[in-house]
Structure 1
Amino acid sequence: MPIVFSRFLKFFIILLMVGGGIRPDGPGDVSWASSPAPPNSDLSDTAEENSVTLTIKSRVFIPETISLPMGQKTHLTIINHDSELHAFVPIGLLTHTHINLSGNGAPQFGKEGLLRVLLPTRGQTDIVFIPTRPGNYPFFCDLPGHVMRGNIVVQEKKGMVE
């Protein structure tokens, strides 16, 4: 059974890559943007980075609330410690946003951006992006019977003018 699921997951990822307009940058890396990145966005390795880890354990997101500064490169690592499949579904945060994705999660994209990432048992996904709009952005796991929820708060930097 695990071999069949593994083959299905690989087929699903390849199908997404071919039909979904994403391109691999290297082993396990995917970049995608629904619109050109803003001129001040820098997802290169040299930009100052805010690193945040979101852990999934016993069907709970830890922490449930994450605060991010607007306009700063963010490296969000999502780790599934459970022995079952989970999903990370961010609402509004990663729409029309340039992202770099890596890890063994299976991303799903729509017209406006990243819809969700399926995280396999003991899986990990890294998402690098720059939050561009302040606000509260809920996230959850949409698999049947899972009631995991959380919130990402993007705050304007002090002294920042729009």
Structure 2
Amino acid sequence: MRSLPFLFAALCASIGVHADDMPTYSLRVKDGRFSPDTVEVVAGQRFRLTVSNDGPGASEFESLELRKELVLAPGVTRSLVFAPMKPGSYRFFDDFHPQTGQGRIVAR
């Protein structure tokens, strides 16, 4: 019974190490535009996408295909973790700026 807390701590530590080793890609939103508008990732590998809103108003990262959505107030940075993707192109957009807020994640 005493080994249970030790096993739990070891499991948490290994998860933390795994999360730190995860590739991280950055995406910025300003004035209704994503930069870069195409994010290339390695197919079959989990990754983190850090999204920063550098604009004066609210922005959103949304992908229906990937079932991800993130609303950001001005000056806010948040991250999403993605499961390994099959090779392909996956669209994302900003509902607050539908004309200019378009991009894609390309898994190769």
Q: TM-score if structure 1 supplies the norm length?
A: 0.51
CA gap of 1:64–1:72, structure 2 versus 1, over 3 A, is same
Provide structure 1 residue ranges, at least 5 long, that are not aligned to the other structure: 1-43, 96-113, 156-162
In structure 2, C-alpha distance between the alignment counterparts of 1:136 and 1:66, rounded to whole Å: 10
Decide whether the 8 Å contact of 2:50 with 2:77 is kept in 1: yes
In structure 1, C-alpha distance between the alignment counterparts of 2:54 and 2:77, rounded to whole Å: 9
Deviation at 1:71, TM superposition (A): 2.2
Calculate percent identity across the aligned residue pairs.
27
Decide whether the 8 Å contact of 1:136 with 1:154 is kept in 2: yes
Partner of 1:52: 25
Q: Does 1:124 align with 2:77?
A: yes
Root mean square deviation of aligned Cα: 1.8
Q: Does 1:76 align with 2:49?
A: yes
CA gap of 1:120–1:73, structure 2 versus 1, over 3 A, is same
Q: TM-score if structure 2 supplies the norm length?
A: 0.74
Deviations along 1:106-128, one digit per CA (max 9) or x if unpaired, are xxxxxxxx3x2111111111112
Decide whether the 8 Å contact of 1:56 with 1:78 is kept in 2: yes
Deviation at 1:64, TM superposition (A): 0.6
Determine which structure has the larger helix proportion and give its number: 2
- Structure (1 or 2) with the larger CA radius of gyration: 2
In structure 1, C-alpha distance between the alignment counterparts of 2:99 and 2:72, rounded to whole Å: 13
In structure 2, C-alpha distance between the alignment counterparts of 1:67 and 1:77, rounded to whole Å: 14
In structure 2, C-alpha distance between the alignment counterparts of 1:52 and 1:154, rounded to whole Å: 12
Deviation at 1:45, TM superposition (A): 2.8
Partner of 2:10: none
